[in-house]
A and B are shown apart, each in its own frame.
With several copies, the nearest count.
Chain A
Amino acid sequence: MIEFGLTREPIDTEQWRRRMFDLTCGGYAAFEGWVRDHNEGQEVLRLEYEVYETLALSEGNKILAEAIERFGVTGAACVHRHGELRLGDVAVWVGVSAAHRDEAFKACRYVIDEVKIRLPIWKKEHYVAGDSGWVNCERCAAHGHAHETDRPRQPETAGV
């Protein structure tokens, strides 16, 4: 099973999980990104994800294929939600099944790390204080890329 999905509806993680079952697999690792109630000191009310669908689908499938090839896992799947999300919603789900747990963990981690860096998807946070912002973009531009230089990869943001 290899499948990458995008959806505006709530992610049915249990349905995705069930599709990973495989009798040759002894281990299953999963990750979920949840919309949390704060980010960098701001109270978050809700958020929006905007996605460049065609490219996100091809890039997402590429990431999954890489995970399978690099770590030799049996199945890898991922679904990312977009549109309007509320606190506690699942923004992204990743599932990996494998003969052994080591590969399952590594491949699952690889998928979410790459998704965060490579998938053409953007997040706008709406704050309790009333304002809103595209995560990374406006803030980094305004702060002279402080986030980018402080941290080697993508800054951690709400949703993970």
Chain B
Amino acid sequence: MKKIHVRYFALFRDQVGRDEETIETEASDPAGLYAELQARHDLGLGADRLKVAVNDEFTSWDRSLSDGDRIVFIPPVAGG
């Protein structure tokens, strides 16, 4: 088990009802972790609609996660 710090923005913050949480997980990568969170929080968006950042950098869905990593699942953006 590792601890992963998750931050939520925008739609996800509204759906989860908080800014962040620390998760204990067996998930080895962001894809696995998102599947867990999607089920737990009833998140509407499929991973194909998202990007993911680990430790403040965009990353791939299959990179390995380490204990203490900080992760953000990024819903479709709307700047400008």
Residues of A within 8 A of B (CB): 33, 49-50, 52, 54-55, 58-59, 80, 91-92, 101, 112, 115-124, 134-138, 140-141, 145, 154, 157, 159-160
Contacts and interface: CB of A to CB of B under 8 A. Distances in A.
The SS class assigned to the B binding surface is mixed
B17 interface: no
B53 A120 contact: yes
B79 A52 contact: no
Contact of A140 (B9, B76, B79): B76
B4 interface: no
A112 B80 CA distance: 7
26 contacts: A52-B7, A52-B74, A55-B53, A55-B72, A116-B77, A116-B78, A118-B77, A120-B74, A120-B77, A121-B77, A121-B78, A121-B79, A122-B10, A122-B77, A134-B11, A134-B14, A134-B78, A135-B78, A136-B76, A136-B78, A137-B78, A138-B11, A140-B49, A154-B78, A159-B78, A160-B80
A33 B44 CA distance: 29
B62 interface: no
B37 interface: no
Interface string B61-80: 00000000000101111111
| Nearest 10 A/B pairs, CB to CB | A122-B10, A116-B80, A137-B11, A121-B79, A135-B78, A123-B78, A119-B79, A136-B76, A54-B56, A33-B80
A115 B80 contact: yes
A137 B10 contact: yes
B79 A50 contact: no
B75 A122 contact: yes
Given A58-B56, A58-B57, A141 B45 contact: yes
Interface string B1-31: 0000001011101100000000000000000
A122 B10 CA distance: 6
Contacts of B9: 50, 52, 120, 122
A141 B44 contact: yes
Interface centre among B11, B53, B56 (most CB of A within 10 A): B11
A93 to B, nearest CB: 10
A122 B16 CA distance: 16
